[in-house]
Each structure stands twice: as C-alpha cells, then as structure tokens.
Structure 1
Amino acid sequence: MKRRELREHIFELLFRIEFNSPEEMPEQIRLFFADMEELGEEDQAYIEKKYLCIVQKLPKLDEQIEETAKGWKISRMGKVDLTILRLAVYEVEFDKDVPVGVAINEAVELAKKFGGDDSPAFINGILGKIGKKE
C-alpha cells in the first residue's frame, strides 16, 4: 500500500478519538482493522504504530497547534481539521522519514478530500508556520 493510502487510514483511525473515550479505543482499533481485509500485516503494523505514537504526543501536538493558530482554540477547530493537523504536525516534528514539504502537501490533500471548503487553506497556513520553524 502507498504511503498516501496508509496516511489516510491513520487519519481515519485518529478521527475516532474525537468520538470515543480512551477506554473504547482498543475496541475501535479492532473494529477498524476488521473492516479492512485488504490490509496486509505489515501495513496494519505501520498504521497502528504511527497511530499510537501520535496518541502519545497529543498534548504536545495540541499545544503546538494552538500556539501557532493565533486566535483559534483547539476546542473551536473542526474535528477533521484538527485530526489532519495532529497527523501532519507529528510528521513534521517527530517523523524524520517524512520531509516537511511532503507532510504539509499530504495534509492539504487530506483537507481537500475530507475537510470543508476552507480547510486546505487553514491547514496550509498553520503548517506553513510550523514548517518554517524546522
């Protein structure tokens, strides 16, 4: 499976955090993978590992997003936009296998596919500021 597809699956799994308690997430992860029969073991391991790494860093990611998004609180952001930002900021800050430009571009593509009309510009603006710090 291509990285873009894997990233999309990570986004979909991360999105479930917004609607389920931490106690419910192990079952949500199980259900997520049960619905994806075409997924190989290696791809599943990659998705699950990256998801868990992002979840461990959520407070730091959210803090950085909120600091960068002047005038925006995490609680006011759309759930889709917030999930995309969390994934992208993780990639920019912690995943050295993903170049900053690729992380930003992929986040904008996710925003075009899953977000609202203003999502791509919003995502690009915040990530552009974060990317310049790198």
Structure 2
Amino acid sequence: MKRTEMREHIFRMVFSYEFNSDQEMPQQMQLYFEQLDQEPKEEDMAYIRDKALNVILKSEEIDEMLNEYVTGWKTSRMNKVDLSILRLAVYEMKYDEDVPVGVAINEAVELAKKYSGDEGPAFINGVLARLS
C-alpha cells in the first residue's frame, strides 16, 4: 500500500476518534479494516493503527501548538475534518522523522481537497506554513 493511501486511512481513524471513546477505538479500528474492499497487509494495518494511535496520544500537545499559531481560531471551534487533518500533519512535521515537512503539508492539503470544504485547503496550508 502506498504512503498516501495509508495516510488517508490514518486520517479516517484520527477523525473517528472524535466520535468514539478510548475503549471503543480498538474495536472500531478492527471494524474499519474489515469493511475495506481489499484487506491491507498485516504490516500496513500495524503501521496505520500505530500511527493513528500516536497522533491521538499527542493530540493535546498538538492542539496546544495549533492554538498558539492560529490567529482567530481555537481548535475547539475548528471543524473536525480540518482538525483531524491538522493533527496528522503536525504529528508528521514534529514527531515523524521519516516524513519531510513539505510532504506533510502537501499531503494535508490534498486530504483537505478531498474531505474538507472549499476553504479547507487554504486554511490547512496557511496554518501549517506558520508552524513550519
């Protein structure tokens, strides 16, 4: 599976965390993988699961960074799609040494084009540019 595809699955899991409790997430992740048209390889599932959990575990710290750099917006007011994309991108920029900052920003903008509203890609790009 390509990194872009895995990133999209990670984004979906981070997004689903907004609607599930900590106790529900392992089961939700399993159900997520079962509903895919083609089941990913075990190593891909482990990578997706681990990275999603790492983003979730760092979300409070990431939200503090976002609140510091975003003028006029707080994470509590952001729509959940944009917030999930930002959390994943900031995690990749600050904690994942395998992902170059430019790649993290570009991939986040592409996710926003697919899942966010009309202003989402520009908003995501602007926030991440301030953080980089």
- What runs of 5+ residues in structure 2 fail to find an aligned partner? none
- What runs of 5+ residues in structure 1 fail to find an aligned partner? none
**Partner residue in 2 for 1:124:** 125
Q: TM-score, normalised by structure 2?
A: 0.96
Q: Distance in 2 between matches of 1:38 and 1:28?
A: 15
Q: TM-score, normalised by structure 1?
A: 0.94
Q: Deviations over 1:76-98 (max 9, x none)?
A: 10100000000000000000100
TM-superposed CA distance for 1:112, in Å, is 0.2
**Partner residue in 1 for 2:91:** 90
TM-superposed CA distance for 1:30, in Å, is 1.4
The alignment covers a number of residue pairs equal to 131
Aligned alpha-carbon RMSD (Å): 0.9
- Code of the residue aligned with 2:20 in structure 1: it is N
Q: Distance in 1 between matches of 2:70 and 2:84?
A: 14
The answer as to 2:70 corresponding to 1:76 is no
* Identical counterparts, % of pairs: 60
Greater shift, 77-86 or 62-71, is seen at: 62-71
TM-superposed CA distance for 1:38, in Å, is 2.6
Q: Deviations over 1:41-90 (max 9, x none)?
A: 11101101111111111110111111111111111101000000000000
Runs of 4+ with >4 A deviation: none
